[in-house]
Amino acid sequence: MVVKALNEAAAAMGIEANMAVADARAIFPALVVLDDNPDAAREALQALAEWCIRYTPTVALDPPDGLILDVTGCAYLWGGERAYLNDLMTKLHQGGYQVRAAMAETIGVAWAHAHYGRPGTIIPAGAQYNALLQLPPASLRLSPEILEKMQKLGFYQIRNFAGIPPRVLRRRFGQELIDQLSKALGYLQEFIEPVRQAVPYQERLPCLEPIVTATGIEIALQKLLEMLCERLAKEGKGLRSGMLTCFRVDGKTQQIDIVTNRASHHVRHLFRLFELKIKTIAPGFGIELFILEAPEVEEINTIQETMWDTTGGFENTAIAELLDTVSGRVGTGVIQRYLPDEHHWPERSVKMVASLQEKPKIGWRTDRQRPVFLLPKPEMIFVTAPVPDYPPTAFRYKDKVHYIDKSEGPERIEQEWWLQRGLYRDYYTVEDQEGRRYWLFRLGPFVEEKEEKQAEWFIHGFFA
């Protein structure tokens, strides 16, 4: 067995990586050795990356033991780069981690100083070249074969070959050295894959003191909504879905989200939607950072004076906001909107839509009466009907017999043969002795009682 990783105390005693465990115990007999578990290490690194999202939305893994953070535009929230880096390193040290970190304009230089420079170094913009000169070639993340060649040639520091023309280096060491050096100096762009894709519309609010009260959460939410909605209004957009994430001092997160029926950048309305769920947030020992995101936004259309027009588009903001409020209280799947669809079969003649702005392609059919409530699937009933093709005189539905006083029909509705083949339906509108009206149909042609298979009848809808 060999030592794969070690802490600072072990390193101070002279124990090195890849040293045999027997040799390490010869140096320090009480050495504690734990079995290596690559999966557990990667899971821990992933969890640490998720935790670092409180510092920046763009965090990428750098296996086996590193993270890369794009902190562009984030440092000012902590009062500058030095305060930002110190706070990050302090929090990680307090969590029991041994940390080496550096900040630079390029990933290559930051990685080089984090691994081979002085921990906590911040390289000023434009100083990448000079910052690399005193570091070893391994700080450029080169392959072992190239490092071995450089060692034999006496290239112990980057300054030993930094001034050599690229064509000479390429001929001796290959394109890899040129690429890695170009990435570090910023001549070649380097891309990372974040553990979570950043949302374009996002606002952050760090707290000087941990927030533990609902009032404090409301104040933070109000501030974030004002910042986000101001940006959305300038760009002519509105929020369709929002998410508030609260980062607690114990490393855990709390999250609430909302959806709207139409795009909105109305601060008061959006605050009311979030307010319904604030009580579900458990602040624990305190919340140190709030992040408000708008994963889904839409263009804001010109507001019209009418509440809605005959084409079915809701244009009244108050109506849309009322629907949002109701949805926030009872659930987003409770309120639904339907538009007519181009099908004859009743259950296919309407479609559910998500947006209040969508216009119907055809108008609602008004030449025939249709039930207020249409069953999603017709239910079979037992019917008494004279012959031939007369409407029923009575039917049994859910163990109750209904005697029919009035009826109208039949109205024959055929299936679209290009969608599904099957029998036609003959629909009847009937009214029972209690004055209740129903929509019934017979599937296919009338069949005499002496036939083995009787005609099948179904109930499909209820009138007001």
> What are the tokens at 362?
């055809």
Asked if residue 29 is part of any domain, the answer here is no
**Co-location of 244 and 298 in the same domain:** yes
**Co-location of 229 and 171 in the same domain:** no
**Co-location of 219 and 114 in the same domain:** no
**Co-location of 320 and 388 in the same domain:** no
β-strands 287-299, 337-340: how paired? Answer: unpaired
* pLDDT band at residue 313 under the 50/70/90 scheme: very low
**Co-location of 219 and 332 in the same domain:** yes
- In total, how many domains does the chain have? 3
Long-range contact pairs involving 54-58 (C-beta distance under 8 Å, separation at least 24):
54/247, 54/288, 54/289, 54/291, 55/84, 55/88, 57/194, 57/196, 57/198, 57/199, 57/202, 57/291, 58/192, 58/194, 58/198
Least confident of 331-345, 401-415, 422-436: 331-345
**Residue type at position 229:** C
> What are the tokens at 316?
């009244």
**Co-location of 214 and 293 in the same domain:** yes
Residue 243 has pLDDT above 90, yes or no: yes
* pLDDT band at residue 66 under the 50/70/90 scheme: very high
**Co-location of 258 and 166 in the same domain:** no
Of the residues 142, 159, 185, the one at which a domain ends: 185
**Co-location of 213 and 317 in the same domain:** yes
Of the residues 131, 157, 185, the one at which a domain ends: 185
* pLDDT band at residue 308 under the 50/70/90 scheme: very low
**Co-location of 326 and 211 in the same domain:** yes
**Co-location of 229 and 131 in the same domain:** no
Tell me, what's the pLDDT at 21? 82
The string of pLDDT tens digits covering residues 36-50 is: 777 888 888 999 998
> What are the tokens at 85?
């880096």
Least confident of 129-138, 302-311, 312-321, 438-447: 302-311
What's this model's pTM, rounded to 2 decimal places? 0.57
CA distance 346 to 128: 70
More confident residue, 389 or 150: 150
Average pLDDT, the chain: 86
Least confident of 218-232, 350-364, 381-395, 414-428: 350-364
Tell me, what's the pLDDT at 271? 93
Residue numbers of the domain that contains 421: 373-462
Q: Are 461 and 381 in contact (CB under 8 A)?
A: no
Q: What is the CATH number of the domain that holds 260?
A: 3.30.1490.100
DSSP of 60-106 = EEETTTEEEEE-TTTGGGGTSHHHHHHHHHHHHHHTT-----EE-SS
CA distance 44 to 36: 13
- By C-alpha distance, which of 437, 413, 416 is closest to 427? 413
**Co-location of 153 and 205 in the same domain:** no
CB half-sphere exposure, 288, CA atoms < 13 A:
16
The string of pLDDT tens digits covering residues 152-201 is: 999 999 999 989 999 999 999 999 999 999 999 999 999 889 988 878 89
**Co-location of 207 and 266 in the same domain:** yes
| Residues 6 or more apart in contact with residue 140 via CB below 8 angstroms | 108, 112, 132, 158, 177, 180, 181, 184
Asked if residue 348 is part of any domain, the answer here is no
* pLDDT band at residue 312 under the 50/70/90 scheme: very low
The string of pLDDT tens digits covering residues 269-278 is: 999 999 989 9
Q: Are 331 and 353 in contact (CB under 8 A)?
A: no
